[in-house]
């Protein structure tokens, strides 16, 4: 009986992850807003599901750059100096800062639309080095189709973005291509910091038939300013971020960022268990949700078609 118990204990010990002083996961995001916070929580829950639990055998560190690229670089250097087991940067600016700061510590990025354009990796299938992660490349063609379905007479889409954020610049090129296919034109309006968002939204009034906001952390962190302009001007506002719909957008087709975080956490677990990040392919996150806000639609003068209402995965009244 005693030998059986010893054997069982040995088996359990082998299946457990490393001790707290051996497993540290450092997470950073460019700014705090619901989507990025949900991604962070998904990472933590995926780690817990794999047996890595904070306070038991995991030290989980989180730092926000509060929207400041210089702070993101400072956090990246701090993490590189602390040498955690894995660094998880959330968003393109944070990922760029982290990847620039270390060539040795494993990096698993997430919520990055264009890892190639952001120069985080040179090959999605074989990233090489110490970096891998998940892309949240938006289904832009489906976004254009959704806007046309809700607004059949739309001619011009106003693109509200931070011209200094690499993923938003990449998505602008994609949007222009998809809009042209659909017979639409695109007008840009840029805000390089959150204080400029409301003014940038106002610059689209009278020039665009709808506002479209990508997964841009600067704009989304100050979304309420854009929503106020949209409601006042009866200018329908759409986003690529589903968490923004509850904050006043008409609709969004995009990822559930908690699920994106969980998918990212599963990659982190693989790295903690010994896989080389450079050997793990960069994947586009799975799953899309259609979220609609009936109240926002009414305030912006929009009637949501039954075809959209019927297939929505979540409806905000």
- What pLDDT sits at residue 127? 96
Do both 291 and 154 map to the same domain?
Answer: yes
- What pLDDT sits at residue 97? 97
- What pLDDT sits at residue 311? 94
Which CATH number fits the domain that encloses residue 263? 3.40.50.2300
pTM for this model (two decimals): 0.76
Report yes or no: 282 and 234 within 8 Å, Cβ to Cβ. no
**Considering the domain boundaries, does residue 60 fall inside one?**
yes
- What pLDDT sits at residue 8? 40
Do both 246 and 261 map to the same domain?
Answer: no
Do both 267 and 190 map to the same domain?
Answer: no
- What pLDDT sits at residue 166? 86
pLDDT higher than threshold 70 for residue 56: yes
**Considering the domain boundaries, does residue 15 fall inside one?**
no
Q: What b/e sequence results for 283-316 when a residue is b if at least 16 CB atoms lie within 10 Å of its CB, and e otherwise?
A: eebeeebbbbbbebbebbebebeeebeeebeeeb
Mean residue pLDDT across the chain:
92
Do both 124 and 218 map to the same domain?
Answer: no
Label residue 293 by pLDDT band (50, 70, 90).
Answer: very high
* pLDDT per residue as tens digits for the range 297-312: 999 999 999 999 999 9
Report yes or no: 316 and 292 within 8 Å, Cβ to Cβ. yes
Cβ-proximal residues to 140 (8 Å cutoff; 6+ apart), any chain:
171, 174, 175, 178, 240
Do both 170 and 294 map to the same domain?
Answer: yes
Label residue 151 by pLDDT band (50, 70, 90).
Answer: very high
Mean pLDDT confidence for 26-33: 94
Do both 162 and 45 map to the same domain?
Answer: no
Percent share of the chain, pLDDT over 90: 86
Label residue 15 by pLDDT band (50, 70, 90).
Answer: very low
Do both 183 and 297 map to the same domain?
Answer: yes
Do both 46 and 164 map to the same domain?
Answer: no
**Considering the domain boundaries, does residue 97 fall inside one?**
yes
**Considering the domain boundaries, does residue 9 fall inside one?**
no
Do both 219 and 149 map to the same domain?
Answer: yes
pLDDT higher than threshold 90 for residue 189: yes
* Residue found under tokens 């490393």: 18
pLDDT higher than threshold 60 for residue 3: no
3-state secondary structure of 242: helix
Helices within the chain (DSSP H only): 2-15, 34-49, 69-82, 92-101, 140-150, 166-181, 197-202, 217-221, 223-233, 257-272, 294-299, 306-311
pLDDT higher than threshold 80 for residue 1: no
**How many structural domains does the chain have?**
2
Strand partners, 156: 185
Do both 125 and 100 map to the same domain?
Answer: yes
3-state secondary structure of 255: coil
Distances (CA, A) of 128 to 75, 104, 123, 124, 166: 24, 12, 8, 9, 22
pLDDT higher than threshold 50 for residue 286: yes
Q: Return the structure tokens found at 200.
A: 């940038």
Question: Could you list the residue range(s) of the whole structural domain that residue 120 is in?
Answer: 21-135+255-286
User: For the purposes of burial, counting CB atoms within 10 Å of the CB of 2, is it exposed (0-12), middle (13-18) or buried (19 or more)?
Assistant: exposed
* pLDDT per residue as tens digits for the range 108-140: 999 998 999 999 999 999 999 999 999 998 899
- What pLDDT sits at residue 288? 83
Do both 212 and 306 map to the same domain?
Answer: yes
Q: Which residue has the higher pLDDT, 161 or 2?
A: 161
Q: Return the CA Rg of the chain.
A: 21
Task: Please give the Cα distance from 153 to 304 (Å, whole number).
Answer: 14
Do both 157 and 173 map to the same domain?
Answer: yes
Task: Please give the Cα distance from 175 to 140 (Å, whole number).
Answer: 6
pLDDT higher than threshold 60 for residue 4: no
pLDDT higher than threshold 60 for residue 7: no
Q: Which residue has the higher pLDDT, 124 or 12?
A: 124
**Considering the domain boundaries, does residue 4 fall inside one?**
no
Q: Return the structure tokens found at 276.
A: 């080389």
């Amino acid at each position: 009986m005693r030998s059986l118990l010893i054997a069982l204990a040995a088996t359990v010990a082998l299946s457990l992850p490393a001790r707290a002083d051996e497993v540290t996961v450092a997470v950073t995001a460019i700014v705090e807003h619901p989507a990025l916070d949900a991604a962070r929580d998904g990472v933590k829950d995926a780690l817990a599901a794999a047996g890595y639990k904070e306070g038991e055998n995991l030290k989980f560190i989180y730092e926000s750059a509060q929207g400041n690229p210089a702070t993101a670089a400072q956090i990246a250097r701090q993490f590189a100096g602390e040498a955690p087991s894995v660094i998880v940067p959330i968003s393109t600016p944070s990922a760029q800062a982290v990847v620039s700061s270390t060539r040795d510590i494993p990096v698993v990025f997430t919520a990055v639309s264009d890892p190639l354009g952001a120069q985080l990796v040179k090959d999605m299938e074989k990233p090489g080095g110490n970096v891998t992660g998940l892309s949240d490349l938006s289904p832009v063609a489906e976004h254009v189709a959704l806007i046309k379905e809700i607004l059949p007479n739309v001619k011009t889409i106003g693109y509200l973005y931070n011209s200094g954020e690499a993923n938003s610049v990449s998505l602008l090129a994609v949007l222009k291509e998809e809009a042209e296919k659909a017979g639409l034109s695109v007008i840009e309006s840029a805000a390089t910091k959150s204080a400029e968002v409301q003014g940038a939204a106002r610059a689209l009034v009278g020039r665009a038939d709808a506002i479209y906001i990508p997964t841009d952390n600067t704009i989304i962190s100050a979304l309420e300013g854009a929503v106020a302009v949209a409601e006042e001007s009866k200018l329908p506002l759409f986003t690529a971020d589903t968490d923004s719909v509850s904050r006043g957008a008409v609709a969004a087709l995009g990822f559930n960022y908690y699920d994106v975080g969980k998918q990212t956490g599963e990659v982190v677990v693989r790295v903690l268990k010994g896989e080389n990040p450079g050997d793990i392919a960069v994947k586009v996150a799975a799953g899309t949700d259609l979220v609609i806000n009936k109240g926002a639609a009414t305030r912006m003068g929009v009637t949501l078609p039954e075809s959209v209402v019927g297939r929505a995965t979540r409806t905000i009244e």
